[in-house]
Amino acid sequence: AQSVTQPDIHITVSEGASLELRCNYSYGATPYLFWYVQSPGQGLQLLLKYFSGDTLVQGIKGFEAEFKRSQSSFNLRKPSVHWSDAAEYFCAVGEGNTPLVFGKGTRLSVIA
Amino acid sequence: GAGVSQSPSNKVTEKGKDVELRCDPISGHTALYWYRQSLGQGLEFLIYFQGNSAPDKSGLPSDRFSAERTGGSVSTLTIQRTQQEDSAVYLCASSLRGLFTEAFFGQGTRLTVV
């Protein structure tokens, strides 16, 4: 069965520090990969997506993610976190004509 | 409208009652999705509409749940005989062409069954 795993439920980082949020998936073929962010009281916003081509994709707000087929991973990174990045982050995966499957999310806290 | 609109934003209902949740997608978007977000559980797919095709209902958890989309635009998610386990945030999203194009999410309807 298709599945998406975000191993970290909650991460706390200092402002200005680097960030990496993990996402692993279990799919048969080449999936389509997304990262969404949900700020408190806000809807989900797309950060970036990968369909094919260059495995390092750039997104909004300074985020990037790297697709690693050998590791079945699509980790989200940011070199320097800002306090406004505190939010819930969701990895999502799709394949063929199936709707997106979301991970359970990682809550990011940013401290001064 | 500028974005996906959902109403009501909050709904408290008594166990056993029926509820209707409404979604107004972005104008021109042919695809519409419903997801359910429970605390600590991520987003659970419920149903997907694409144009005039038959909807993908594979995520509906029971026959108490149903959804329709009128005129290819507004959608209504109906939950009959609500149970406490139905309490969650129900999210609607739309996209321009369907799967693998960016999905824009509404703010959600927080349903509480008491």
Tens-binned pLDDT, residue by residue, of chain B (114 aa): 579 999 999 999 999 999 999 999 999 898 999 999 998 778 999 999 988 889 999 999 999 999 999 887 999 999 999 999 999 999 999 988 766 678 899 999 999 999
Chain B 84-113, CB below 8 Å of chain A: which residues? 91, 93, 99-100, 102-108
- Residues in chain A with CB shorter than 8 Å from the CB of B106 are 43
The average pLDDT across A86-96 equals 90
Query: Could you give the 3-state DSSP secondary structure of residue B34?
Result: strand
On whether the CB atoms of residues A62 and A35 are closer than 8 A, the answer is no
Residue B86 — φ and ψ, nearest 5°?
A: -80, -10
pLDDT level of residue A1 (50, 70, 90 thresholds): low
The answer to whether B43 contacts A102, with C-beta atoms less than 8 Å apart, is yes
Containing A1, the helix (H) or strand (E) segment is none
pLDDT for A14-48, tens place per residue? Answer: 999 999 999 999 876 778 899 999 998 788 999 99
The answer to whether B40 contacts A104, with C-beta atoms less than 8 Å apart, is yes
The answer to whether A45 contacts B4, with C-beta atoms less than 8 Å apart, is no
Map A19-50 to HEC letters. Answer: EEECCEEECCCCCEEEEEEECCCCCEEEEEEE
The answer to whether B107 contacts A42, with C-beta atoms less than 8 Å apart, is yes
Residue B73 — φ and ψ, nearest 5°?
A: -125, -100
